[in-house]
Amino acid sequence: MFSWQRVGALILRHLYVLRSSWPRILELAYWPVMQMVLWGFITTFFLQHSSWVAQAAGVLVSAVLLWDVLFRANLGVAIPFLEEVWSRNLGQLFISPLRPSEFIASLLIISVLRTTVAIMPAALLSFPLYDVWVFSLGLPLVAFYANLLIMGAAVGLAVSAIVLRHGVGAENLAWFAIFVVAPFSGIYYPVSTLPVWLQPVAWAMPSSYVFEGMRAVLFRNEFPVDLFVWSVALNAVYIVFASVFFLYMFRVARIRGLLLQQGE
């Protein structure tokens, strides 16, 4: 016989999981809010600039590809870290002579490799499918790519540090934390589309300079060096902060005895 008590028991089991992990509760509300904010700004911009896309064929495709560089670079750090957590290998690693700084370096390098492998097929496919050859951006593409890689990796490293401290309950941050920056990075619309009070938030992110730079190359065929310099400078701050944050959380994990407890 069907038992509502057993159904209730399992509901309670999942409520216990939610109650024990603030990132899981945050995630419930996160996606609807994020989608609404992002597509709201896109709609606002296109209502006011209906001929914008026609001025630069491929600007949206290029934006999608570059956004994915940021997203994949974040995952490129966070997923290999989570693999060590899921396999309960962190304790093993850190009783070997591996230093935390070496661990960070390995995650960053893996991120570059994973992102390049992930992006290349999409970048090549965009030509036969949409007649958009993203490599026509030329050398600026390398600058955009490198900056987005570093920013994505910095976010992934910060997320990994939070998982190190809070355990697998925080693992979903790996997928959704990076989307916090999406509405404010001017991926599909200029930063000027944002309300004035939000624009300083956008200019605090290296990604905003990259996407503005991309549009400058596509629309005006010029590479804005000042935007590039700002992006590099902010990225230097981001990656240093993320590394220091990870090292701090590693020390917290050593104080709290978390390195031998990580796992599902």
Partner 1 sequence: MPSSPASPASPVIRAEGLTKRFGDIVAVDAVDFSVPRGITLGLLGGNGAGKTTTLAMVLGLLLPTSGTVTVFGQNMAGHRERVLPRMNFSSPYVNLPRRLTVRENLTVYALLYGLDNRQARILRISEALDVRPFLNRPTGSLSAGQITRVSLAKALINEPELLLLDEPTASLDPDAADWIRAHLDSYRRTSGATIVLASHNMAEVERLCDQVLIMREGAIVASGAPADLIARYGRETLEDVFLDIARGRRDRGAVPGQ
The footprint of partner 1 (CB under 8 A) covers 83-84, 87-99, 251, 254-257, 259-260, 263
Closest contact distance (angstroms) between CB of 78 and partner 1 is 17
Q: How far is the CB of 255 from partner 1 (least distance, A)?
A: 5
- Specify whether the backbone of 146 is left (phi greater than 0), alpha (psi in -120 to 50) or beta: alpha
Q: How far is CA 153 from each of CA 71, 127, 200, 201, rounded to the nearest angstrom?
A: 9, 28, 22, 20
Task: Return the beta strands (E) in 48-155 as ranges.
Answer: none
**What stretches of 167-224 show up as alpha helix (H) in DSSP?**
173-176, 199-203, 206-220
**Based on CB atoms, which residue is closest to partner 1, 190 or 263?**
263
Q: Which is nearer to partner 1, 14 or 256 (CB)?
A: 256
Which is nearer to partner 1, 38 or 253 (by Cβ)?
A: 253
Min CB(256)–partner 1 separation in Å: 7
> Judged by CB, which is closer to partner 1: 224, or 263?
263
Between 77 and 210, CB nearer to partner 1: 77
> Taking the complex as a whole, how short is the minimal distance between the CB of residue 250 and partner 1, in angstroms?
11
CA dihedral 88, 91, 96, 102 (to 10 degrees): 80
Q: Is 232 exposed, middle or buried (0-12, 13-18, 19+ CB in 10 A)?
A: middle
Q: How far is the CB of 107 from partner 1 (least distance, A)?
A: 15
Q: Which is nearer to partner 1, 49 or 254 (CB)?
A: 254
Dihedral angle computed from the Cα positions of residues 254, 24, 202 and 77, in that order, rounded to the nearest 10 degrees: 50
Smallest distance, Å, CB 215 to partner 1?
A: 42
State residue 232 phi and psi, 5-degree precision: -65, -45
- Calculate the alpha carbon distances from 46 to 41, 193, 210 in Å: 9, 10, 21
C-beta separation of 76 from 235 below 8 A = no
